[in-house]
Amino acid sequence: MAVYTEVDDDDLIAFCGQYDLGDVLACKGIAEGVENTNYLLTLSSGPYILTLYEKRVNPADLPFFLGLMEHLAAAGVPCPQPIAARDGIALRQLAGRPCVIISFLAGMSPKKPQALHCAELGRALAEFHLGTADFAGVRANSLSVGAWRGLLESCGQDANRLRPGFYDELANELTELEADWPTDLPSGVIHADLFPDNVFFRGRYLSGLIDFYFACNDSYAYDVGICLNAWCFEPDNSFNITKAQHLLSAYRQVRDFSEPELMALPVLARGAAMRFLLTRLYDWIHTPEQALVVRKDPMEYWDKLRFHKAVSSPGEYGLGF
């Protein structure tokens, strides 16, 4: 949640003059997305989102992200669409940043996701995976298993400030994950960050997916593991098997799991927990204590990791198979 880059009003009016979208009525910084600056831009033709890409996004990746949004929409997966200016180009420059105007998507993120939301999410995730199967873009996952040890080492013994002996526990856990990590599962483009914040609903129906800026190529079932962690635990970190059952059943009605994918779910979900644990740990250690930003709790993901470690069969996720 942040507005990082201010846009001069005259510059904005000149910028919007390059589009066939009418006059600028208002432009308000919104608390959406943590990596980029987002404005809700009200033009006389309606509302839009103006995204300015900040330094954490590699400009070379932007054509991948924008192409993905267009490809997904064509495949029937609801998501915002980059809008081209009169010259046909969507990716432009404003206030010294790469930027894009995207369409406004109605809907709200669920603050307390229920089983019915998880079913909608499962279906949409499978449609995302099927819908990107023929997408030509490729982007390596820079936060996959190969990156985790480096992340842990850059946290170092400061990890023990959260819990005595934590660094060694994580290093041991990482050794196991590195050894057991599956490499030959069905793969393609995954969202990789499909938290409730990034999914809009209207009433009980999913109305869209947003924030594709972690999307990359990796195994589909790893994306499922990320979603199990993000959607199927209660605020006290207990696992809600009903939510998982709804998510997984809805997913497999659209794209069924292979036997190796099912067997790998526990280790993938454990690895997904490790990935978010490590980036949160990194932020926790490198954000000043007094900073008025919410540091997300790394220990939440330690609880989730340990849950998956104790799972002996995918049936414990509510899956009959």
Q: Copy the structure tokens of residue 260.
A: 């190796």
Least distance between its own copies and beta carbon 35 (Å): 15
Phi, psi of 92 (to 5 degrees): -130, -165
Rounded to whole angstroms, how far apart are CA atoms 95 and 5? 7
Nearer to its own copies, 110 or 131 (CB): 110
Q: CB neighbours (10 Å) of residue 96?
A: 8
Least distance between its own copies and beta carbon 276 (Å): 21
Residue reference for tokens 């590195």 = 178
Point out which span in 75-83, 121-129, 131-139, 198-206 binds its own copies (CB under 8 A).
198-206
Of 5, 34, 47, 197, the one binding its own copies by CB under 8 A:
47
Least distance between its own copies and beta carbon 259 (Å): 38
Q: Which amino acid is at 42?
A: T
* 12 lies in the binding site for its own copies (CB under 8 A): yes
Contact characters 254-293, its own copies, x per CB under 8 A: ----------------------------------xxxxxx
* 27 lies in the binding site for its own copies (CB under 8 A): yes
Point out which span in 26-34, 55-63, 80-88, 128-136 binds its own copies (CB under 8 A).
26-34
Of 14, 74, 89, 106, the one binding its own copies by CB under 8 A:
106
Nearest to 87 by CA among 39, 17, 27: 17
* 96 lies in the binding site for its own copies (CB under 8 A): no
* 48 lies in the binding site for its own copies (CB under 8 A): no
Of 24, 34, 116, 162, the one binding its own copies by CB under 8 A:
24
Ramachandran region, residue 85 (left: φ > 0; alpha: ψ -120 to 50; beta: rest): beta
Helices of type H across 59-132: 62-74, 115-131
Least distance between its own copies and beta carbon 292 (Å): 5
What radius of gyration, in Å, describes the C-alpha atoms of the chain?
20
* 162 lies in the binding site for its own copies (CB under 8 A): no
Q: Please check whether residue 99 is in contact with residue 51, taking contact to mean a CB–CB distance below 8 angstroms.
A: yes
**Exposure of 263 in the CB half-sphere (CA atoms within 13 A):** 8
Least distance between its own copies and beta carbon 205 (Å): 13
Q: Copy the structure tokens of residue 136.
A: 């030509």
- The set of residues, in sequence order, having a beta carbon less than 8 Å from that of 290 and lying 6+ positions away, is none
Rounded to whole angstroms, how far apart are CA atoms 277 and 304? 9
Helix (H) or strand (E) holding 173: helix 166-180
* 235 lies in the binding site for its own copies (CB under 8 A): no
Strand partners, 11: none
Nearer to its own copies, 12 or 162 (CB): 12
Q: Please check whether residue 82 is in contact with residue 63, taking contact to mean a CB–CB distance below 8 angstroms.
A: no
Of 5, 18, 30, 54, the one binding its own copies by CB under 8 A:
30
Nearer to its own copies, 33 or 318 (CB): 33
Point out which span in 5-13, 122-130, 230-238, 274-282 binds its own copies (CB under 8 A).
5-13
Of 201, 220, 233, 257, the one binding its own copies by CB under 8 A:
201
* 1 lies in the binding site for its own copies (CB under 8 A): yes
Specify burial of residue 219 (Cβ count, 10 A radius: 0-12, 13-18, 19+): buried
- Footprint on this chain of its own copies (rule: CB under 8 A): 1, 3, 6-10, 12-13, 23-32, 40, 42, 47, 104-112, 200-203, 288-293
